[in-house]
């Protein structure tokens, strides 16, 4: 069936448009029932599936160009003078469970997670973490990475008896450490 026949059978300018679209997505536009008034069900389904796939691929490409790397855009600046520290317990202290850990911060302010204000962040306490997590991605909460997204400046910890390490990392509104990470010294405590 030629282009003109398809065009005539589909009654007007839409026939040419359909023929072009079908050819772009790889469907043969020559499968019809009877006198060219109805598309076969199979051709219509294939056309719709391939059209949706093509449409979603186009949207994905456009979205990725507009958004760019997600994590790189989420880094917030921090002053060079900013410093996080653990007020209490002190390094080498012996504590009884449960015990209070007080967080300290200078050169910046505290803001809850989700609030994007310049020179602010919220604390994350790393418990027994040997190696820092990736500092360009959101800190993933776990038993070892504790989030204080409401802006808390202290917490009660109950740890098993023995030696444990504690370290603070300040995260921005999206739990991502700042472009110049604000990290405390790692301390060791003995829990009795």
3-state secondary structure of 171: strand
- Looking at the fold, whether 148 and 92 belong to one and the same domain comes out as yes
Domain end marker among 53, 68, 83: 68
For residue range 161-175, what is the model confidence (pLDDT) as tens digits?
999 999 999 999 999
- Looking at the fold, whether 112 and 144 belong to one and the same domain comes out as yes
- The distance from CA 76 to its chain's CA centroid, rounded to whole angstroms, is 15
- Looking at the fold, whether 148 and 179 belong to one and the same domain comes out as yes
- Looking at the fold, whether 135 and 163 belong to one and the same domain comes out as yes
Residue 97 has pLDDT above 50, yes or no: yes
d(Cα 136, Cα 153) in Å, to the nearest integer? 23
d(Cα 122, Cα 105) in Å, to the nearest integer? 10
d(Cα 53, Cα 51) in Å, to the nearest integer? 5
Domain end marker among 29, 49, 68: 68
- Looking at the fold, whether 61 and 78 belong to one and the same domain comes out as no
- Looking at the fold, whether 130 and 86 belong to one and the same domain comes out as yes
Domain total for the chain?
A: 2
Can you give the residue range of the structural domain that contains 80? 74-191
- Looking at the fold, whether 53 and 107 belong to one and the same domain comes out as no
Residue 135 has pLDDT above 50, yes or no: yes
Q: Among candidates 143, 128, 115, 116, which has minimal Cα distance to 189?
A: 128
- Looking at the fold, whether 116 and 40 belong to one and the same domain comes out as no
- Looking at the fold, whether 152 and 117 belong to one and the same domain comes out as yes
Pair of tokens at residue 117: 């204000």
In this prediction, residue 142 has a pLDDT band, given cuts at 50, 70 and 90, of very high
Q: Which residue has the higher pLDDT, 14 or 188?
A: 188
Q: Which residue has the higher pLDDT, 43 or 2?
A: 43
CATH number of the domain enclosing 116 = 2.60.40.10
d(Cα 189, Cα 176) in Å, to the nearest integer? 27
Domain end marker among 52, 68, 84: 68
- Looking at the fold, whether 173 and 80 belong to one and the same domain comes out as yes
Q: Other C-beta atoms within 10 Å of 94: how many?
A: 11
For residue range 14-51, what is the model confidence (pLDDT) as tens digits?
556 666 666 665 655 554 444 444 455 556 666 777 77
Cβ distance 2 to 10 under 8 Å? no
pLDDT in the model for residue 6: 45
- Looking at the fold, whether 80 and 98 belong to one and the same domain comes out as yes
Residue 100 has pLDDT above 60, yes or no: yes
């Amino acid at each position: 069936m030629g282009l003109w026949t398809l065009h005539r059978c589909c009654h007007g300018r839409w026939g040419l448009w359909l023929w072009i679209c079908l050819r772009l997505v790889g469907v043969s536009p020559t499968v019809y029932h009877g006198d060219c008034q109805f598309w076969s069900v199979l051709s219509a389904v294939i056309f719709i599936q391939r059209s949706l796939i093509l449409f979603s691929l186009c949207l994905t490409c456009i979205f990725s160009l507009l958004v760019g790397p997600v994590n790189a855009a989420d880094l917030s600046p921090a002053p060079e003078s900013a410093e996080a520290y653990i007020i209490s317990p002190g390094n080498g202290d012996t504590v009884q469970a449960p015990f209070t850990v007080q967080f300290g911060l200078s050169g910046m302010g505290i803001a809850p997670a989700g609030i994007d204000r310049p020179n602010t962040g919220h604390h994350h306490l790393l418990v027994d973490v040997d190696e820092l997590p990736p500092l360009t991605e959101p800190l993933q909460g776990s038993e070892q990475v504790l989030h204080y997204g409401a802006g808390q400046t202290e917490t009660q910890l109950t740890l098993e008896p023995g030696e444990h390490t504690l370290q603070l990392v300040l995260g921005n509104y999206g739990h991502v450490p700042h472009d110049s990470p604000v990290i405390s010294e790692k301390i060791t405590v003995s829990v009795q």
